[in-house]
Amino acid sequence: MSAKQLEQTTKATKTAFVFPGQGSQKVGMLAELAEQFSGIRETFAEASKAVGFDLWQIAQNGEELNQTEFTQPVLLTASIALWRVWLEIGGVVPKYLAGHSLGEYSALVASGALTLGDAVKLVNLRGKLMQNAVPQGQGAMAAILGLDDVKVLELCAQVNTQGLGSVDAANYNANGQVVIAGDKASVEAVMNTAKEVGGKAINLPVSVPSHCALMKPAAEQFAMALEETAIELPGVPVIQNVNAEIASDVTQLRTALTEQLYQSVQWTKTMEFLQNEGIEYIVECGPGNVLANLAKRLPKIEKALPLDSKSRLDDALNAILVAEGRIA
């Protein structure tokens, strides 16, 4: 649906859709659903034509799947394929959309703000620029668990004065769960200090350190591509990563997408926004259930439901239709 068509659609009152980012990819994603819904392969064919390589083959065979320039368009396409299936089977249009990092582009496509073809080209370029911004092996990301946000920021600030490079808070995923990113030595220093003060630190297997100062050169180049891409205001409100707010015009949208490359993902604030707006049901539209699992911890969320198998799709459809009063 276009943004205008979505604007005119009767929307859910208690439901939000969230779209995952890198790390949710898995070999063979959506294969089961593709046997039952022809639209999944059709969506992958449409996106593959836009970028010039076979996204379905990468998703199913796994070759190059973890190279960020391929991961990003594959994941986005998988999320939009699921979104289209949801609408096809009579799923309600949610009240809000949000996406984690890369997932923000999926949310914008679902909202009608971007076409699928333009979005996959953008995220393919985004992946290349991110990969080229930091030489392989020089950057790192890690999850810091069990410490509050202020403490993690304090540890990053301490390390940033030691001449090891830079490290930033990249993703505020939940209370007590912050992902850091930056130069490898700096990230390792924060990990060690976090353990000393009672936290846990887990190294993340990623090829680029996202959402940190090292991505500023990539953002400057990416801004030019965004300027040349047609973008509309979303037909369903999309909550932005960088500020957990809704853009009032297209200029703000472009600015937020540029800044997203080197600023933190404000996922904790995004979830607070949704709960304050009366959202009680979160549906994760993409491979896996990472975001659904995070949402299950939230006090005002009744259910958090993934969609990436036939049984999960059926369960989510029934639960949301009942919750929204569409069926008894």
Q: Rounded to 10 degrees, what is the CA torsion of 82, 47, 133, 165?
A: 0
Residues designated as active site = 101, 211
pTM of the model: 0.95
Hey, do 3-133+214-323 and 139-206 end up sharing a CATH topology, with the first three levels equal?
A: no
Res. 328: pLDDT tops 80: no
Q: What is the DSSP string of 17-44?
A: EEE--TT---TTTTHHHHHH-HHHHHHH
Of the CATH numbers 3.30.70.250, 2.60.40.10, 3.90.1150.10, 3.40.50.2300, which one belongs to the domain with range 139-206? 3.30.70.250
Q: How many Å separate Cα 90 from the centre of its chain?
A: 24
The residue written with tokens 């969320």 in the block is 301
pLDDT at res. 276: 96
Residues in the chain: 328
DSSP 123-137: HHHHHHHHHHHS-TT
Q: What is the mean pLDDT of the chain?
A: 95
Q: Binning pLDDT at 50, 70 and 90, where does residue 146 land?
A: very high
- Mean pLDDT throughout 9-28? 93
Alpha-carbon gap, residue 155 to 266, rounded angstroms: 19
The per-residue pLDDT for 164 is 85
Query: Is the distance from CB of 179 to CB of 142 less than 8 angstroms?
Result: yes
CA 203 vs. chain centroid, Å, equals: 20
pLDDT tens, residue by residue, 209-223: 999 999 999 999 999
Helix, coil or strand: residue 204: strand
Residue 227 has pLDDT above 70, yes or no: yes
User: So what CATH class is 3-133+214-323?
Assistant: alpha beta
> Quick one: pLDDT band at residue 296, thresholds 50, 70, 90?
very high
Sequence-ordered list of residues with C-beta below 8 angstroms from that of 251, at least 6 positions apart, any chain: none
Domain ranges of the chain: 3-133+214-323, 139-206
Q: Residue 63's pLDDT is what?
A: 85
